[in-house]
Structure 1
Amino acid sequence: MVQLQALSQRNFLNTADLTLQEIQQLIELALKLKQGQSQASLAGKTLATLFFNPSVRTRVSFATAMFKLGGQALDISSEGAWAFEYRDNIVMNGATIEHVKEVAPVLSRYCDGIAIRCSELVTKSAESAKVGAWETAKQDIVLKSFAKYATVPVINMESNVYHPCQGLGDAVTIKEKLGQTQGKKYVLSWAYHPKALPMATPNSQMLAACDLGMDVVVAHPEGWELDPEILAVAQRRAEQSGGRFSISHDQDEALEGAQIVCAKSWGALKYYGQWEKEKELRVQHQDWIIDESKLQLTDQAHVMHCLPVRRNVEISEGVLDGPQSIVIDEAENRMWAQMALLATLL
């Protein structure tokens, strides 16, 4: 049985909350679990997974991870739960039925951990979700309320701001494919999409590459800048790991010599919630796609995407089905990364 060292944080809300050493330990444990070199057990333990958004990979990978570790995951969807209240000092005579001050501690009595997925832009709709201001969304009130009132570890399965489990899974995949990551070039490239998507995943993917000491380049059209506070964290983590961090508005130039290319779309921060106005600008950038011609600019780069992916929109079919695509390995490694996290945290 592997001896697990406790994390410095009770919760897992953002990879940047952990030290670089802790991130590396989780990556190494995930790869050892995948290779059958280590064993860990969560026998008799239960994880409550609350999904306020649609999910395939996150839902199944967490359930399978708990099963493989000898525990179980209880799937609670928003349709099957009460309407929860998160505001303090509120007279609950409206649509909400139960306050998080009761929900979180009760679930903590039943379960050994609580995992939350709540991102306002993740929907099944063909249109971008109607949302408020970014400064409000950035508060991540649902996730942080559960973290405040729960007495067991809370795991972020994707919020408005971060998707740390995707970031950790990507880091495991990059380490698995490249071995030595220090100084290798990683490009996170914005890609066209017919609707505005969350910034949580690219935020965490960017941070993961920075933690690996890579030469990280975030490429996007002008106007699609990520949150400046998060960019500052990425810059700091890159410096701490001995890597580099930069931003480019020229996709071709950014891709030159890359060993890893991660395609991902996200909505423009400056037009957050004003999606019709943003769409007028977004449609002008349909050439921001990772296709065969773009891939030729790289150093035989591995191509990543968190999935689901729009074929021949974000990435061409030829690239997705080609030998340089590692999107399926990337999806699988979410499970191993989460197994390492769960075994260490719970």
Structure 2
Amino acid sequence: MADATGLQLSQRHFMNTADLPQQEIQALIDLALSLKHGEVKPSLAGKTLATLFFNPSVRTRVSFATAMFKLGGQALDLSMEGAWSFEFGDGVVMDGATIEHVKEVAPVLSRYCDGLAIRCSELVTKSAASASAGSWQNARQDLVLNSFARYATVPVINMESNVYHPCQGLGDAVTIKEQLGQPQGKKYVLTWAYHPKALPMATPNSQMLAACDLGMNVTLAYPEGWDLDPEIVKMASQRAKQSGGSLQIEHDMDTALEGAHIVCAKSWGALQYYGNWEAEKALRVQHKDWMVTQAKMQHTDNGRLMHCLPVRRNVEVGDDVLDSPTSIVIDEAENRLWAQMALLATLL
């Protein structure tokens, strides 16, 4: 659906930024910045977005609710604690814990609301320990998100799944464009950082794609063994080339940071140990030196520090960076709001 500015997306759902042509991503970025500057005022008066959170959330929950409010619509927060337990399998005899099938939930919510937004990532948890998980092959199917997209009759937005966090990627792209003006050809480093537990790969996947779509020279930095999904890295590399940029991999943080204009710190779990977190932890603790500090930032070209938040201070990033003008993490978090307003105004 086209918004008040005439922007129209080629996809009905927003599942992954890589589903869209790069010119549509750029149009969303430009619309987000125009909204932020008060240059356009699309309206979603009378529209309702249902947000379904299967995981904890702060920025995503509040930014979507605020975005709908600013556009004149409303967001209904349907946390799973207050809903029935849903079933997603086909042909299941529902004589156990699940009460309602997605085949009924999605179309009914579609009758009530103009869009559905889903957050369901099996590794997002408030626990001090890593979340239990099955195989990456199963997680990669994103059963919950794709089931809602299959049975809903209104647009479905991915607020973070096992594989992608496209709203974070879009918000990051807005921030980079805002900070650098013309990102093409500038150096972007996505660096792994130590964390006491295994985290999802969805956010770094989408952050990598965002920088590639901007035509940046992207360096993916991580200790050996912490590779992201090779198919997603290959896709990101192809999109980087399409936009005039590049993608390379580096296993030394100091080398990776040389000449960087943007440094994005993010932890993720090791793909080769997916679900086997005790074995992974024995290796992870050997890389506590993978923390972004002011000393490491000296290798950059007056680089700016980004992080999706929440951030573990003095674990992933040092206070000396987060509390300095180098850090743009608050701007980055704010721009989630404007990016999602652009997305909602266009989709709904």
Q: TM-score, normalised by structure 1?
A: 0.99
Structure 2 CA distance for aligned equivalents of residues 88 and 193 of structure 1: 37
Equivalent residue of 1:175, what SS?
A: helix
CA distance in structure 2 between the partners assigned to 1:48 and 1:148 by the alignment: 16
Report the counterpart of residue 290 of structure 1 in structure 2.
292
The separation in 1 between residues aligned to 2:132 and 2:163, in whole angstroms, is: 17
**Match among 278, 302, 308 for residue 280 of structure 2:** 278
Task: Kindly indicate whether residue 219 of structure 2 is the aligned counterpart of residue 217 of structure 1.
Answer: yes
1:72 aligns with 2:70: no
How far does residue 342 in structure 1 lie from its aligned partner after superposition? 0.2
Contact 2:4 2:43 in 1 (8 A): no
* Matching of residue 230 in structure 1 with residue 237 in structure 2: no
Cα-to-partner distance string for 1:20-49 (whole Å, 9 max, x where unaligned): 000000000000000011111000000000
Matches of 1:186 and 1:318, distance apart in 2: 21
SS of the residue corresponding to residue 247 of structure 1 reads: strand
For residue 347 of structure 2, what is the amino acid of its counterpart? L
Aligned-pair identity in percent equals: 77
Alignment of 1:95-110 (within 5 A): 95-110=97-112
- Please give the per-residue CA displacement for 1:157-189, whole angstroms capped at 9, x wherever unaligned: 000000000000000000000001110000000
User: Which residue of structure 1 aligns with residue 254 of structure 2?
Assistant: 252
1:193-232 CA distance string (max 9 Å, x none): 0000000000000000000000000000000000011001
Determine if the alignment matches structure 1 residue 133 to structure 2 residue 135: yes
Asked whether 1:265 is paired with 2:267, we answer: yes
The reply on whether 1:166 has 2:172 as its aligned counterpart is: no
Structure 1 residue 4: Cα displacement: 2.6
User: Residues of 1 paired with 2:224 and 2:205: CA distance?
Assistant: 17
Give the distance between the partners of 1:336 and 1:3, measured in 2 at CA.
Answer: 15
Give the structure 1 partner of residue 40 of structure 2.
38
Q: In structure 2, the residue corresponding to 1:252 is in which secondary structure?
A: helix
2:160 aligns to what SS in structure 1? coil
Q: How does 1:17-56 map to 2 (within 5 A)?
A: 17-56=19-58
SS of residue in 1 equivalent to 2:295:
helix
Q: Give, in whole Å, the separation in 2 of the partners of 1:152 and 1:341.
A: 14
Q: Aligned pair 1:119/2:127, yes or no?
A: no
Who is 1:84 aligned against?
86
Structure 1: stretches of 5+ with no match in the other structure: none
Q: Could you tell me which amino acid in structure 1 is paired with residue 293 of structure 2? A: D
Q: CA deviation at 1:5?
A: 2.0
| 192-201 or 3-12, which deviates more | 3-12
Q: Deviations over 1:280-334 (max 9, x none)?
A: 0000000001001100000010100000000000000010010010000000000
Give TM-score scaled by structure 2 length: 0.99
| RMSD of aligned Cα (Å) | 0.7
Cα separation, 1, equivalents of 2:294 and 2:288: 15
> What is the alpha-carbon distance in structure 1 between the residues aligned to residue 85 and residue 241 of structure 2?
43
Q: CA deviation at 1:2?
A: 4.1
Moved segments of 4+, more than 6 Å = none
Distance (Å, rounded) in 2 between the aligned partners of 1:152 and 1:334:
22
Q: Displacement of 1:6 after TM fit?
A: 1.6
1:146 counterpart residue number: 148
What number of residue pairs does the alignment pair up?
346
Contact 2:114 2:154 in 1 (8 A): yes
